[in-house]
Chains A and B, each alone.
Chain A
């Protein structure tokens, strides 16, 4: 004889299916099972209630699009690998099946064999476009090493190392696009090593060879600076640290290049400006003459100075930023579209019209002529972080006259208020449930909350949940029996964080777990 609960389960399943298909109303469905009606009805009402609170949700359009792009790249790379492996197999490089998986345990040895094959037979298996996540990448690197060894003379070596730096930069960008941070880090470290070697080799150059090389180097590091800024925004952890180190090297090479192209003996006012701005980019204090002030006064101008031309766009990437050193929205990027190949500068003023920062120098993107970029780290001419407020940005050309287009950016270094803890109440004793729901008051400016809980009142070794978003309630079910302390802080949309709230304590008391009942 069938158990009552079996019959109820079947009736429940049938009714849910019919209701979901909109084929029957609840009433007609219940009429089918008059004996079970009393038990069935509340269960069906509960099912409907659950369906209502679980509407279909979608990821954000930005996420959907960016994941789509990333997947497209990965699929295309996989297709390339598939084609390469088929080609290799056709050309006699019939690799054992165990070499094809993504693990690169045997890759260095394989690389040596293939380089030998390439050098001796001329067959190219590893494409120059092979990416670091490919099984053939070690082959590419081995071929490059051979090329370095075969480079003769300072010019050849400098040129080869510069080319390798460019390749590693492109690889770092591609790896950042597919979120492979380890390979971003590797590519950047390798790029920096090659860039150092390129500049070392370039020091031995003289005459037109030297001039020609440093012009190329100058173009590369301008492009590299922009690319590194892009990558910086896309990665975290060690990869981001590698980008920061690389930006420092980029700055040093920039200064070295300027010195090589514009020797001190013949420095012009623009050279001084360039060097001064180089200092500003990294937020270093520059105690030399403020050439910007000299320009803005307009008294020392000669007739051959050129005004800014064709400016169509002048904006910051952020409307509000927080230069507080937490690496979250610390820098605001300034984008300019104007006629190509001209010198432009940005000056920054307070709302009262007081000059705050002078002569930030937008650099032109080599791949997109007429597109210039620079950044402001929120510091004034004395290297101090400015006060909260709205700042006006003005753009000028070589003649020191501002264009009519201006833009504004806000600086916000003020932390939001700390949340008030709501539940559990102070010293509450909790029993009966494995879950504990912690809740706190919402703070108007908060974009996310950070929660800490610990068995120790001093929060030593506390668990931190820093991805709560705007939710101000969380259920946790890992609390063991005993006393627990918890606190929350709020973080605003530019990364300013409040102090932690005054902590609260609750106690978990375990009870005997009751068997779940299956009847109504």
Chain B
């Protein structure tokens, strides 16, 4: 969908056009859900927070400013605030779903694929060693493929801070892996 079409949809949704809001929902629900799921690791609660995100977005749609952020960035920011509230209420606990990784590795050669697969089984558990912010950057970057500018808007940080968080997160994971079995 082109940005122009998207902004037309948002304009219609501001007037509570149910078809327009429905299309926006269809387009972004999986991304919002994915972000929340990887933050909290529980499918049922991720669905609940996804529902809350869209209901809040509906309440606040007239305050959305397309000049400041894209619609998805705005939605993820709402989801992020709800996730923070969730952690506060739940005593900051995070489940670690040890799901097997699948997928291809773009330009990686066979050796790289093998190496990546050995490593990836443990990366999910290792990300739990990160600080909340580092983990957040990893999800926004590697699941939602946000740019540093978009991540900065979601997290209320500068792009430089995001870059540093990313570096520190990767270093931390790499260090633990290296210490444990010298894989990297």
Cα distance, A64 to B29, chains bound together (Å): 8
Convert B116-132 into 0s and 1s, putting 1 for each residue whose CB lies closer than 8 angstroms to a CB of A: 11011101110111000
Give the chain A neighbours of B138 by CB distance below 8 A: 50, 54
Instruction: Answer yes or no: A57 CB below 8 A from chain B CBs.
Output: yes
Residues of B within 8 A of A42 (CB): 174, 178, 184
CB distance B44 to A467 under 8 Å? yes
Is B42 close to A, CB under 8 A?
Answer: yes
List of B residues within 8 angstroms of A71 by Cβ: 21-22, 25, 54-55, 58
Which A residues lie within 8 Å of B50 (CB)?
A: 59, 63, 67
The answer to whether A46 touches B170, judged by C-beta atoms less than 8 angstroms apart, is yes
Is residue A146 contacting chain B, with contact meaning CB distance below 8 A?
no
Q: A54, A76, A518: which has the most chain B beta carbons within 10 Å?
A: A54
Q: Is the CB of B163 within 8 A of A463?
A: no
Contact indicator B115/A45 (Cβ below 8 Å): yes
Asked if B171 and A519 sit within 8 Å, CB to CB, the answer is yes
Residues of B within 8 A of A51 (CB): 142
Q: Determine how close the nearest CB of chain A comes to the CB of B93; give it in whole angstroms.
A: 5
Cα distance A469–B91 in the bound complex, in angstroms: 18
A16 contacts across to B, CB distance below 8 A: 141, 166
Q: Which of A17-25, A91-99, A246-254, A289-297 sits within the interface?
A: A17-25
Does the CB pair B164–A9 fall under 8 Å? yes
A43 contacts which of B141, B164, B170 (Cβ < 8 Å)? Answer: B170
User: In the bound complex, do residue B103 and residue A55 qualify as a contact, i.e. CB atoms below 8 Å apart?
Assistant: yes
Contact B107 A57 (CB under 8 A): no
Known contacts: A13-B163, A71-B54, A74-B55. The answer to whether A50 contacts B93 by CB under 8 A is no
Within 8 Å by CB of B167, from A8, A19, A75, lies A8
CB within 8 Å for A57 and B34 given contacts A43-B170, A78-B16:
yes
Most chain A beta-carbon neighbours within 10 Å: one of B16, B50, B124, B129: B16
Binds A, one of B1-9, B68-76, B94-102: B94-102
Q: Are A48 and B108 in contact (CB under 8 A)?
A: yes
Q: A471 interface residue, CB < 8 Å from B? A: yes
B124: which A residues are within 8 A, CB to CB? Answer: 53
Check A67/B119 contact, CB under 8 A, given A58-B33, A433-B129, A477-B94. Answer: no
The answer for the CA separation of A474 and B58 in the assembled complex, in Å, is 34
CB of B96 within 8 A of CB of A43, answer no
Decide: B107 and A75 in contact? CB cutoff 8 A. no
Does residue B105 face the partner (Cβ distance < 8 Å to A)? Answer: yes
What residues on B are CB-neighbors of A63 within 8 Å? 47, 50
**A31 close to B (CB within 8 Å):** no
**Bound: A8/B170 CA distance, A:** 12
Which chain B residues border A70 with CB–CB below 8 Å?
51
Alpha-carbon distance A475/B91, docked complex (angstroms): 12
- Asked if A46 and B119 sit within 8 Å, CB to CB, the answer is yes
Query: In chain A, what residue has the closest Cβ to B21?
Result: A75
Report B155 CB to chain A, min CB distance, Å.
16
- Docked pose: A33 CA to B32 CA in angstroms: 36
Give Cα A50–Cα B130 distance, bound, in whole angstroms.
Answer: 13
**A328 an interface residue at 8 Å Cβ cutoff?**
no
Q: How far is the CB of B85 from chain A (nearest CB, A)?
A: 16
Residue with the highest number of chain B CB atoms closer than 10 Å, among A12, A19, A475: A475
> Is the CB–CB distance between A47 and B54 below 8 Å?
no
A267 sits at the interface (CB 8 A) = no
The reply to whether the CB of B175 lies closer than 8 angstroms to some CB of chain A is: yes
Alpha-carbon separation in the docked complex, A518 to B26 (Å)? 40
Partner of A22 from the list B30, B107, B167 (CB cut-off 8 Å) is B107
Of the four ranges (under 10, 10 to 19, 20 to 34, 35 or more), the interface on chain B belongs to 35 or more
A68 interfacial contact with B, CB 8 Å:
yes
Bound complex: CA of A46 vs CA of B46, how far in Å? 26
Determine which of A25, A55, A79, A474 lies in contact with B107 in the assembled complex, contact meaning CB atoms within 8 Å: A25
Q: Is the CB of B21 within 8 A of A50?
A: no
A354 at the interface (CB under 8 A from B): no
Judging by beta carbons under 8 Å apart, are A79 and B33 in contact? no
A36–chain B nearest beta-carbon distance, Å: 12
Closest to B98 in A: A473
Q: Does B43 contact A (CB under 8 A)?
A: yes
Report the bound CA distance from A189 to B13 in whole Å. 35
- Expressed in whole angstroms, the Cα–Cα distance for A74 and B61 within the complex equals 13
Q: How far is the CB of B25 from chain A (nearest CB, A)?
A: 6
A520-B30 contact in complex given A9-B167, A75-B58, C-beta closer than 8 Å: no
Supposing A52-B116, A67-B54 touch, asked if A75 and B166 sit within 8 A by C-beta, the answer is no
Is A54 in contact with B143, judged by CB distance below 8 angstroms?
Answer: yes
Tell me which of A8, A10, A26, A59 has the highest count of chain B C-beta atoms within 10 A of its own C-beta.
Answer: A59
Answer whether residue A60 sits at the interface, using C-beta atoms and an 8 A cutoff: yes
- B45 contact set on A, CB distance < 8 A: 467
Residues B108 and A53 in contact, CB atoms below 8 Å apart: no
Interface membership of B152, Cβ < 8 A = no
Q: How far apart are the CA atoms of A199 and B141 in the complex, in Å? A: 64
Q: Which residues of A contact B37 (CB under 8 A)?
A: 57
Q: Shortest beta-carbon distance, B3 to chain A, in Å?
A: 19
A520 near B101 (CB under 8 angstroms)? no
Fill in one digit per residue for A484-520: 1 if any B CB lies within 8 Å of its CB, else 0.
Answer: 0000000000000000000000000000000011111
In the complex, the answer to whether B105 meets A517 with C-beta atoms within 8 Å is: no
Nearest to A18 among chain B residues (CB) is B107
Is B112 an interface position by the 8 A CB rule? yes
Q: Is the CB of A478 within 8 A of B92?
A: yes
Do the beta carbons of A518 and B142 come within 8 Å of each other? no
Residues on B with C-beta less than 8 A from A22 are: 106-107
Q: In the complex, which of the residues B30, B112, B139 contacts A59, with contact meaning CB atoms closer than 8 Å?
A: B30
Whole-angstrom CA separation of A75 from B17 in the bound complex: 7
Contact residues in B for A25 (Cβ distance below 8 Å): 107-108
**Contact among B34, B106, B168 for A58, CB-based, below 8 A:** B34
Query: What 3 A-B pairs have minimum CB-CB distances, sorted nearest first?
Result: A25-B107, A79-B16, A53-B101
New A-B pairs, 5, CB < 8 Å, besides A52-B123, A179-B51, A471-B96: A59-B43, A71-B22, A71-B58, A75-B16, A78-B16
Give 29 pairs: A residue, B residue, CB < 8 Å, sorted on A. A9-B166, A12-B166, A16-B141, A22-B107, A46-B119, A46-B177, A49-B119, A49-B120, A49-B123, A50-B127, A52-B101, A52-B103, A52-B105, A53-B120, A55-B103, A56-B34, A57-B30, A59-B46, A67-B29, A72-B18, A76-B16, A76-B18, A435-B129, A437-B125, A469-B44, A474-B96, A475-B125, A477-B92, A520-B174
